[in-house]
Each structure stands twice: as structure tokens, then as C-alpha cells.
Structure 1
Amino acid sequence: MPVHALPSLMVLGSIWGLTPALAKLALAGGMPPLGYGFWAALGSGGLLALICAARGIAISWDRAHLRYYFAAGLAGFAMANLIAYTALPHIPAGFFALLMPLVPIFTVLGAALLGEERISARSLGGTLLGLTGVGLAMAPGAALPDASMLGWALFAALCPLCYAISNLVGVRWAPRGTPPLAAACGTLLTASVLMAAMGLAFGQFHIPGSLAWQIEALLPLQGALTALAYMLYFRLLVSRGSVVTSQSGYIVTLTGVAWGAILFGERMGLLALPAALLVLGGLFLVTRRDGRHSRR
């Protein structure tokens, strides 16, 4: 993990590690999944818009930017959160955190297919190691307390694929010279429109004030955390590239498992530890860099 990027990666990973637990709390309190995602996107996008206005940063809405906002917002927020929030009521938050190291694994494979990264035996070995770890996490006695959760666990595994697509889109389609704050704001506001449309279509739109105040309070909290996370995410993406940014998966896994235990009393089985070690080992192999690789 790059030393200079470590503080930002730590904060980013910690926020994303907490997000599934907060979402699980909100969903357990009656919040509809798409409604929660909409308000998180709108709140964070609105907050970033205010920051952009205060700093005199213009948010571009030309065709190139709209294409970028739409692709990143659809893959990295709307679809990812639709999958995550639909699956979370049925699986442990700690298990979901174990899936997040698949983001850099899928990112590196995607970058190799697009010709942006050189595929190597190490990357392939790391991919197999990470997938083996996720498979072990789904086994009885690991991160899933009940075999009936397996279908939801497999569905949840699509979420890191969406994040990986968003990573790649962020590098390939981001218009040159776009300030990170403007890119984050445009993506989140576009994602909020997508989430609103999906929520209305599936009857999951949420009107604030209809639930207990403790549950409603999670909306502004999630909005503020999402705004901070996206600020860091786009800044890292522009300055360090998609592969370095995706290494926040280390922190997401550790903090996600911890929050699952603290907030929900989740206890992993004996096989969860070797599963986590396999996943993190695969992540290390896939994202490890040497002097022959240039930073992207």
C-alpha cells in the first residue's frame, strides 16, 4: 500500500467499511433499499455542490461529462447499492466486507483486458487465491451462519464487480482537467436521479419523517460520510490511479468485519479467518507493484 496515499486510503476504507453496517441498521428499521440509496446520493451530492460553489469550482454538464457521470453513477453507485442494499438484510455485514477485496482484483483483470495493465502470473494467482477465499467464506462454518444465505451471498458478489467497472470508467472516461470535487458531485447527483427513478419504479421511494427518528438520522449521517468518501475516492483516482485507489479494500474488510461484530453481534466461524487471509493474500498479489510498472 503506497505510503503517501495511506492516510486517505485508511479514511476511505473505514467509511466504506462502516457503510454496510449503517445500511443494515436503516433497512432493519424499515427503510426501503432504493430510498436509502437515493437520499444518500442526493445528500452527499448536494453537500459537495455547496463545497464546489464555496470554492468556485464549476461542475460541467456537457456531453462528455454527462456520459462519465452516468456510467460512473450507474455502475459505482446505483447498481452497486441496489445489489448491496437488497442483499444486506439477508447476509451478515461482516461477510459483505469480505467481498470488497474483489474490487481491486476485478479492477486489475479489467485493466488488463483493456490493455491498461499487464497481466502476469502473479495477478492470475492472486485472483485465484482471492476467489478461493470468497468461496471458503461461503462454506459452512465460515462467514455465513446458514446455508440458506448462499444465494444472497452470490448475488452480493456482483457488487464488487460494479465497483470495479466504476474504477475503470473513472480512469478511461473522466474528461481531462475535471476537478475531483466536481467529478464526485456530478457522479453523485446523477446517481441520485437514477436511484429516484429506480425507487419509484419498484415502489421503494422513501419520504423522510415516516420512520423513527433514530432511523431517519442515519440519512444525513450516510450523506456526510458518502460525500467525504467520494471526495477522497476521486482525488485518489486522479492522483494515484484505479489500482492504488482500490487497495482501500484492505481497510474495508477489517473495519467491516469489526462493525458487524460491534453493531450486530456477528460471530464468524473458524473457517472465516483462513478465508479472510486468502482473500487479503490475493489482494496483495494482484495489487503489488514493482519498479517495472508505472503509476496510473
Structure 2
Amino acid sequence: MIWNTLRFLFPWFLILGMGVAWGLSFSLAKVAVNHGTAPLTLTVWQSIIAGILLLVLMFLRKIRLPFSKNLLWLCLVIAICGFIIPGVSLYYAAPHVQAGVLSITVTLVPILTYAISIPFGFEKPEFKRILGLVFGTLAILLIVIPENSLPEPEAVPWILLSCLGSAFYSLEGIVIATKMPEKLNPIGVACIGNFLAVIFLLPLLYGSGQQMSLNWPPDTAGLAIFGISFISAIAYTLYIYVIKITGPLFASQSAYVVTLAGVFWGMAIFEEEHSVWVWASLLSMMAGLALVTPRRKSAELSSSVGLGLENKNSS
């Protein structure tokens, strides 16, 4: 009885932990860019440091990955949809948007994940959960539409840019759930994904004229980059793991924890103050979380998404 309860709660603890950590990354991103770090430089160093941390972890745990074209393709999707586009979008938007507001854009992850999952048959349409997605959408609209919702109305395009990263996170979650073999270690996949991201980003970095070098010993920006990289390595690996054991929709609900944590991290670090529209948005997201949360049975069934697709393809 107790063991079954712990098994049920375990994914929730993982979501809570990585959500709080990921929520901090928005404030750290603002710290880094506000202290002069260019967006592409930040994205490259995040992937380099996170990749090295994961490589060390692979060595300590003696993790080996069977090389194949499918593995390379999967890691390529993770590099583009999980690191490059979300990272670059976030870091370009960070100087223009409050950290708390920036974190709210991740509510698009469960919205789009659920929307994509239904036509593919991974999830069934349910009125309660669709209503939850409506509340999530409303949360974004409450920030973007009212004229006095933001300190600077010019931030709206940058918020939409950040939403682009959330859209690719959703696509990535579906790919991981349907194409990632059950026995494939998520630490190794995330490690390769980070290094592939570096390979793609370096030509863009030098072509843009942005500097690669960082100060040593690390200054404030450098410490923020190390913090973001550590969070990326640990939290992202947990994210892939949760997708594997529960399915993409359940894992994507970490976005709500990220949002709540991101708002309060921004208040704690930058003393951010928010309009009534932002607080209404936050309440709307919490309502959405309560409504869109899969039932226990649904959460257990969603863990077989990848197997189900393989069976369909083989028939």
C-alpha cells in the first residue's frame, strides 16, 4: 500500500524539483544577459558545461549508448527542439521581459502537447482537461492583451518569441515519448543532445560576431551561466526520464511548477512587481493545472505511449 503510494507520488516529486530549479533559470538568464553575455554565447556555454557534467555522470555510472542512426536522429531532435531554439529564444527575450512573466510562457507546453497528442491517439479528448488547457491559454492572453498588464508594452513581441521555444518543447516531448527506446538512458541522450547543439551553434556564434570567451575566475555573469548549465543538465535529464515513465502530457505539466517558481524567483531576486493581470494569469494557470492533470489511471496508461506507437507501426 505504502509502496504503491510512493510509486504514484514519485513522478510528482520529480516534477516539483525540476520545476523549482527550472523556474530559477529565468532569473539567472536575466542576470547573465544584463551583465553583458550575448544570447548565443550563453546558449553555447550552457550546452558545453551541461554536456560535460552529463559526460562525467555517464562515466561514473558506466553508461553506454548503442550507436545507431535512430539514436543520432533522436539526439538531433533534442538538440534543436530542446536546447537550441528554446535557449536562443529565451536569452534574446530575457533583457526585455520580467523573469516572472517570462516563465509564464511555458504554459504553452502542456497546451500544445495535449493538442498534438489527441489527433495521434496518445490522449483522448476530455472536457475537464480541455477546459484546463483553456485556462492555460487564458493565462497567456491576460498578459499579452491588456495594455497595462506589463511595465513595458514593447515586451509583447519578446514574450511571443519566448512562446516559440515552448512550442518546440512540446514537439520534442512527443518525439521522445514515441521514438525513444525504453532502455535508452536519458542521461546519455541529453549529453549527446547538448554537444550536437554546440556543433550547430558555433558557426552561428562566430557568424554573428558574438564573443565566445568568458571571464575567469567567473564573474556574476559566469556564475549565472554555470547555474543555468547545472539546472539544464539535471532538470532536463529528469524531464526526459519523467516523459519515459509517465508520457509527454504528464511531464509537460512541470511547466506550471516552473511558472509559479519563476514568478517568485523574479520577485526574490529582482524585486519584480506585477500587475493584477499577471496575478490573474497566475491563478488561471493554477486552475488549468488542477483541471488538465491526468487521472492516476490515465497517467499510468500514458507511459505506454511509445510502445503503442511501435505496435501501430508494426501492424
TM-score with structure 2 length normalisation? 0.87
SS in 1 for 2:253: helix
Q: CA deviation at 1:244?
A: 1.7
Q: CA deviation at 1:102?
A: 1.9
Matched, 1:224 2:230: yes
- Decide whether the 8 Å contact of 1:101 with 1:280 is kept in 2: no
Structure number with higher helix proportion? 2
Structure 2 residue aligned with 1:33: 39
Number of equivalences: 294
Please, which runs of 5 or more residues in structure 2 have no aligned partner? 1-7, 304-315
Matched, 1:181 2:193: no
Please, which runs of 5 or more residues in structure 1 have no aligned partner? none
Q: CA deviation at 1:154?
A: 2.0
* Aligned equivalent of 2:272, options 266, 287, 290: 266
SS in 2 for 1:82: helix
Cα distance in 1 between the residues matched to 2:190 and 2:298: 31
Query: Percentage identity across aligned positions?
Result: 26
Matched, 1:140 2:147: yes
Cα distance in 1 between the residues matched to 2:132 and 2:228: 33
Q: 1:157 is aligned with what amino acid?
A: C
TM-score with structure 1 length normalisation? 0.92
Cα RMSD (Å) of the superposition?
2.0
Q: CA deviation at 1:205?
A: 4.3
- Between 1:69-78 and 1:126-135, the stretch displaced more is 126-135
- Decide whether the 8 Å contact of 1:137 with 1:276 is kept in 2: no
Q: CA deviation at 1:21?
A: 0.8
* Aligned equivalent of 1:295, options 276, 282, 302: 302
Matched, 1:71 2:77: yes
- Decide whether the 8 Å contact of 2:81 with 2:168 is kept in 1: yes
* Aligned equivalent of 1:207, options 207, 213, 234: 213
Structure 1 residue aligned with 2:308: none
- Post-superposition Cα deviations, 1:218-274, rounded to whole Å, max 9, x if no partner, equal 222222222111221122122222122112122211110011112222100112222
- Decide whether the 8 Å contact of 1:240 with 1:295 is kept in 2: yes
Q: CA deviation at 1:85?
A: 0.8
Structure 1 residue aligned with 2:5: none
Q: 1:146 to 1:219 in 2, by over 3 A?
A: closer
SS in 1 for 2:125: coil
